[in-house]
Amino acid sequence: MITIGVTGAVGRMGRRIIALAEEAGDLQVVAALEVAGHELLGQDAGLTAGVKKLNVAISEQPQVKPDVMIDFSLPASTEKWIDYCGENGIAMVIGTTGLSEAHQEKMRQAGHKTAVLWGANMSLGVNLLFKLVAEVAASLPDDYDMEIVEAHHRFKRDAPSGTALELARKMAQARGWPWPACLVHGREGKDALRQEKTIGMHAVRGGDIVGEHSVMFSALGETVSLGHRAHSRDTFVRGALQAARWLKGKQPGLYSMFDVLGL
């Protein structure tokens, strides 16, 4: 049995992590964490997530040390839990988006003390897409223009999505283009002609779209398209739970979903 802690335990992702972990059978939630002053502190995490009573109270700090902490929260909260897991030798799966370079440096530092896995997207399919877009970008000549369109629900705070940025980063690295200088965010005006050696980035926000990413490689005469559509947030949760299984017992270091998938 692998024990897990869940940060942001009453958020949309936190609740689903708790629910699907309970369904899995080989995972046990032993800590459900929320910010100080939250109105649901002290409530049972299982009942809050819509499953059976787990006898795990939502709390500010873990009462039991888990094997793996799973974090889908906000950057400020993630920073706190990176420090906590590093200091206490707890493996950590991070699915929070909108992290800065400073946050990523914190993850690298924590990786000297414990096993840390960060993914711009926890979906297994999206991580395969990361690999495919890099291969296509490396294989096609520079006159194949590269564009990314991402769409998410109206409540998403950061734009473009962390997934879209990671797609662009993989494509830029494959072609040896300067990052992030090669990015162009949207276009407008009377003189918005496409520039060479750039990656177009376009963010759409509306309704309850879970997550859609489309990548286009287009030249004179043909277009190659790759994409991914998430049907529900459970896609990301299942990927995070698979990452937690893989991460348990690993040596200190900074890992990715590529490691989980053997890519």
Is the distance from CB of 24 to CB of 4 less than 8 angstroms? no
**How far is Cα of residue 92 from the mean position of the Cα atoms in its chain?**
13
- Tell me, yes or no, if 213 is annotated catalytic: no
Select from 52, 108, 120 the least CA-distant residue to 82.
Answer: 108
Q: What is the DSSP letter of 2?
A: E
Select from 186, 154, 180 the least CA-distant residue to 167.
Answer: 180
Q: What is the DSSP letter of 190?
A: S
Q: What is the residue type of 211?
A: G
Token reading at 119 = 């993914």
Q: Would you give the end-to-end CA distance of the chain in angstroms? A: 26
Is the distance from CB of 6 to CB of 57 less than 8 angstroms? no
Q: What is the residue type of 52?
A: K
Catalytic one among 156, 197, 202, 250?
156
Catalytic one among 106, 152, 213, 228?
152
Token reading at 50 = 């819509």
Cβ atoms within 10 Å, residue 141: 7
What span, in angstroms and rounded, lies between the C-alpha atoms of 200 and 130?
17
Active centre residues (catalytic): 152, 156
